[in-house]
A and B are shown apart, each in its own frame.
Chain A
């Protein structure tokens, strides 16, 4: 039986619950949409690029964000929808840079497609900008080693996994997800930390993400 490394500082699992705050801002055309994307708070960009992950946990892997869904399903601009859907969120370490990429994508498309400017959403189908307000709470779960860690992963809420994996990196601007950070710095297992941070979580459902992380860690434990 291999010995399991024990960290001096445990991993403390938090959970993150969110409330949707309405801004009263809405867009019916791509022009309005672009202007608002440039000016709404970062919490709006975060909300609309991550809401699907939480609300449609059973759908994999599409549709990945509200912007792509609206552009495709309401405006019928499939090509732009595809471009927005395929923005690789993992490549952006801040909401600011993700916002710039989204805005540039729409801008470029509008420059190239004159007719796209003329499309508008029906009454009631406008794009409504919403902000995500996060509440972070510590849970009672802590782990000192990989075995304890994996046991908690099996029973913790999706909200907790979501917080440590997505929110910590992009919204709190940490260099990687919390799991990899702790495994790398407290358990000094850089290889495992990299394995966890190197796959694209945006193409999976949250349940699938949980199972994949558990699988990678259990494999490591049994080595």
Chain B
């Protein structure tokens, strides 16, 4: 079990001291997180790490989960997709299913927290139950170009909250409530990010039949069109004309995502049996992901759309030079030419990869800058601090707050 003191070697004693000061200011308040699942997915992953750490800081933190049947989660998945800007039809029946399950949860779930912290759209309607306590809505998805019908439906609930929280400035829009920018974070002590001995990295490579005889370019992400794995293969092919390199595309496909398998077969087709393209299915193998990132010479994240793109933070934390698309939360993590290279196209990605492979000193500098940027801004300790400040902001309306 990790505790807050374990982060001192990574961020320094004074950062932890500040967190403790904030924890003291929240004494007596109960924070109740509510989301839709205790396991699986980014929200549950971060809550699993954060809840114990908040408790360790003296903040009385609870976590509850709503209930819902298959049809409810089919609808919320549809919401998720169209909020992300994908096409799809959301019908009146879908809204009815959502409201029906929401009513069940309103009836059965006790919202006892002094601060009720709702994550994502699934439990959003619980706010109908608000009494004198404070309510926060945390939006983890990219809503920069949402389906307006679904957004308007959600807006009726959002405006009943005290504040909303988004991961990137481009996700915000004019709202009648306060809204805060809190990017997500990575946990440097998790299996995905902790230091690994070289033997372990080598053994993961061996297990996947990857030799270290040529530079490795890697993209870690599920096989989803929005991650543009076919575009990565194209970029690799353009690089390969000049530099003998290899490509790793590693990620999972969700069991319930038929499109994932389709995308995977498109990627295989595009790879055309090139022995230097390694397509790996690694669902829930965090150590393997960590090892592959550490073994890479360049890490790529060529997404067409991105919530935040934590794989970028993961790679930068490992001081890797990164080439990534200028979308979603990625430009918060990479300042072009300072802590990585941003691109807008296959050609741009391949040019940037070539540049990094042929200028290892430059690549190294970008990676080092990237690591420091992540240390200062995207580790879980910063996330804990922001959440505690967010809780305190509910009791102070001014821009300069003396605590």
Contacts and interface: CB of A to CB of B under 8 A. Distances in A.
B21 A131 contact: no
Contacts of A73: 336
A57 B174 CA distance: 31
Contact of B392 (A22, A130, A132, A135): A135
Contact of B386 (A19, A125, A132): A19
A136 B18 contact: no
Number of chain A interface residues as a range: 35 or more
B376 A57 contact: yes
Interface in A103-156: 124-126, 128, 130-137, 139, 155-156
Contact of A136 (B166, B170, B401): B401
A128 B170 contact: yes
B373 A55 contact: yes
Nearest to B370: A58
B144 A130 contact: no
A24 B175 contact: yes
B169 A128 contact: yes
B399 A134 contact: yes
Interface in B342-375: 369, 372-373
Interface string B1-35: 00000000000111101100110010000000000
Contacts, number: 102
A132 B376 contact: no
Nearest to B24: A137
A24 B173 contact: yes
Contacts of B181: 20-22, 130
Contact of B18 (A58, A157, A171): A157
B172 A156 contact: no
Contact of B338 (A15, A54, A56): A56
Given A17-B18, A136-B400, A58 B175 contact: no
Contacts of B369: 58-59
A150 to B, nearest CB: 16
Contacts of B373: 55-56, 58
B14 A155 contact: yes
A22 B386 CA distance: 14
A59 B338 CA distance: 8
B376 A136 contact: no
A57 B372 contact: yes
Contacts of B15: 157
Contacts of A59: 338, 369
A15 B21 contact: yes
Contacts of B293: none
Contacts of A139: 17, 21
A37 to B, nearest CB: 16
Given A22-B166, A73-B336, A41 B389 contact: no
Nearest to B403: A137
Given A19-B390, A55-B373, A58-B372, 8 more contacts: A17-B385, A19-B386, A24-B172, A24-B175, A124-B144, A125-B326, A133-B393, A160-B14
Interface of A: 15, 17-25, 41, 43, 54-59, 63, 69, 73, 124-126, 128, 130-137, 139, 155-157, 159-160, 171-172
14 contacts: A19-B390, A20-B180, A21-B180, A22-B169, A22-B180, A56-B335, A57-B376, A124-B144, A132-B399, A133-B400, A136-B402, A155-B13, A157-B15, A159-B18
- Shortest 10 CB-CB contacts between residues of A and residues of B: A128-B169, A24-B174, A22-B172, A58-B372, A20-B181, A157-B14, A19-B389, A22-B179, A43-B399, A137-B403
